[in-house]
Amino acid sequence: TVGAVALDSDGNLAAATSTGGISLKLPGRVGDTPLPGAGVYAENGVVAISATGVGELIARYLAAFRVAELMRRGTPLAEALGQVVSNMTNFFGRRNTVGLIAVDATGAYGEATNCEVFLRGFAKPGEPVKVGVLAEE
């Protein structure tokens, strides 16, 4: 799975996610990626989010929507992402299942994962591009 989130100079937030799905999936299987509020979500004034991981769990948990809901009620970006990933990990009792990237209405970047590997990066005008492969980078 791949994805992107962005904030433009008009203050519009957007998110996009795309995937081949999980290897050996049954034909016709659909995960979280094309479902609004599951693997992809964007709402001006709140947050843009894109998810990767085990689509069945992300979709059942509605991970993107939960982050947006926490932020709508005033929880800051980093805390909202951390809470949703940790609660989802506890609920399903499984690690290596989700990675989230997000930007909020102020242009702050946030990420959270329960995986060993999480390919991601971000760029701001006038700043060097940052990328990471291992989750702890």
Partner 1 sequence: MRGIIAVHGGAGRLRKSLLESRRELEEGLRDALHAGMSALATGSSLDAVEAAVRVLESSGIFNAGKGAALNAYGQVELDAGVMFGRDLSFGAVAAQRYTWNAVSLARKVMELTDHILLVGPGADELAKRLGMELHPGPTERARKLYEELLEAVKKGEHDLWRKNRSLLLSPPGD
Contacts to partner 1 from residues 44-63, by CB under 8 A = 44-46, 48, 50, 52-54
Torsion of CA 39, 62, 117, 92, to 10 degrees: -150
Cα distances (angstroms) measured from residue 46 to each of 56, 80, 109, 134, 135: 25, 12, 13, 28, 25
Catalytic residues: 1
Beta carbon nearer to partner 1, 87 or 117: 117
Contacts to partner 1 from residues 76-115, by CB under 8 A = 96, 98-99, 101-103, 107, 109, 111, 113, 115
C-alpha to C-alpha distance for 31 and 52, rounded to whole angstroms: 10
Q: How far is the CB of 40 from partner 1 (least distance, A)?
A: 4
Q: How far is the CB of 74 from partner 1 (least distance, A)?
A: 18
74 binds partner 1 (CB under 8 A): no
Candidate residues 41, 62, 81, 88; the one interacting with partner 1 per rule CB under 8 A: 41
Q: Which of 69, 61, 119 is nearest to 92 (CA)?
A: 61
C-alpha to C-alpha distance for 1 and 125, rounded to whole angstroms: 26
Candidate residues 30, 72, 76, 87; the one interacting with partner 1 per rule CB under 8 A: 30
